[in-house]
């Protein structure tokens, strides 16, 4: 019993002394740091990632884009950046299977639309090479 308590104490002390593992993800964005997409969406989102993961995951938005807007899909796919974002219209032929999601007046509930798009991806698109 004494050995078990000593071992438990030692393991707990080591765990508390070991810093938490942190992961930093790099994000390439092709808009400037003064653009409203950066200040109002990307930066607050990156901050929220750090908050909700209690600092275990941090998103570092690079100070300059790693490529042109159309190149960002490939930057993420090939691992040059962990996170990028883009617009399907820059490569319309590549994303033909996603055109349905761009139709006007598709709805007014972003949550429902996101769930529907995810379900469509899982059912019909996950084997498409573009994704």
Q: What is the pLDDT along the chain (131 residues), one digit of tens a residue?
A: 444 434 444 444 444 444 566 899 999 999 999 999 999 999 999 999 999 999 999 999 999 999 999 899 889 989 999 999 988 778 878 888 888 887 777 788 889 988 998 999 999 999 987 77
CA distance 45 to 98: 24
Written as six digits, the tokens of 105 are 């007046």
Q: 0.85 cut: is pTM over it? A: no
């Amino acid at each position: 019993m004494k050995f078990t308590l000593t071992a438990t104490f030692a393991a707990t002390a080591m765990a508390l002394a070991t810093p938490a593992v942190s992961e930093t993800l790099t994000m390439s964005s092709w808009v400037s740091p003064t653009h409203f997409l950066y200040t109002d969406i990307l930066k607050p989102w990156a901050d929220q990632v750090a908050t909700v993961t209690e600092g275990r995951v941090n998103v570092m938005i690079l100070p300059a884009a790693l490529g042109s807007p159309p190149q960002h899909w490939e930057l993420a796919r090939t691992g040059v950046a962990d996170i990028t974002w883009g617009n399907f219209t820059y490569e319309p032929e590549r994303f033909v299977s996603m055109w349905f999601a761009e139709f006007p007046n598709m709805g007014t509930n972003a949550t429902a639309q996101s769930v529907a798009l995810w379900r469509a991806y899982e059912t019909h698109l996950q084997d498409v090479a573009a994704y």
